[in-house]
Amino acid sequence: MTGAQVFITIAVVVAATMLTRFLPYICFPQGRNLPKYVNYLGKVLAPAVFGLLVIYCLRNVNFTGGSFGIPEIIAVAVVIITFVWKRQMLFSMASGTLLYMLLVQTVFR
């Protein structure tokens, strides 16, 4: 790609991304009452989306070969258990991540 083509490609990507971000706010401007259905979606979508994001992060884990997803399973379990126990987000994330790094760098190389 030439410099101009790189510029155009990035501009197009920015425009498309902005469209996805702004569309809900354009369709439902504030100050007007939301349709009940949209209001309902605004309440129930987020918990489902958090689930989607967790699966999205783990989408490339291979459960049928390699390390069989064992480091991921252990680290996610540690995050959940420590979070239920301490309810300290940073503590859970740090312990899970450090354990995961240790596992993939030493045990499951």
Partner 1 sequence: MQGYEAENSGMPGGRHAAAAASAPGRGRRAALRWAFPLTLPVMAGYVFLGITYGILMVRQGLPAWLPIVTAAVVYTGSMEFLLTSILVSSFNPASAFATAIMVGARHLFYGLSMLGKYSGTGWKKFYLIFTTSDETFAVNYSAEIPDDIDRGWFYFWVSLLDQCYWIAGAALGGFFGSLITFSTKGIDFVMTAMFVTIFMNQWMKDGDGLDGFFAQHVSEFVGIFGSLICLMIFGPDHFIIPTMAVILAALTLLRPKLDRPENENPAGGGSDCITGSDTNPAGGGSDCITGSDTNPAGGGPDCITAKDLAGHDAEQGGGV
- The helix/strand/coil state of 93 is helix
Residues 24-43 that bind partner 1 (CB under 8 A): 24-25, 28, 30-31, 33-34, 36-43
Q: Does 22 bind partner 1 (CB under 8 A)?
A: yes
The rounded distance, in Å, linking the Cα atoms of 63 and 25 is 40
Question: Considering only residues 40-59, where is the footprint of partner 1 by CB under 8 A?
Answer: 40-59
x/- binding map, residues 54-93, to partner 1, per CB under 8 A?
A: xxxxxxx----------xx--xx--xx--xx--x-xx-xx
Q: Cβ 69 to partner 1, closest distance in Å?
A: 12
Residues 6+ apart with CB under 8 A from 1: 9
Which residue type is seen at 82? T
Indicate the residue among 37 and 65 with the shorter CB distance to partner 1: 37
Among residues 6, 66, 68, 107, the one that binds partner 1 under rule CB under 8 A: 6
Q: Which of 106, 101, 104 is nearest to 62 (CA)?
A: 104
Cβ–Cβ under 8 Å, residues 74 and 99: yes
What is the closest distance, in whole angstroms, from the C-beta atom of residue 99 to partner 1 in the complex?
9
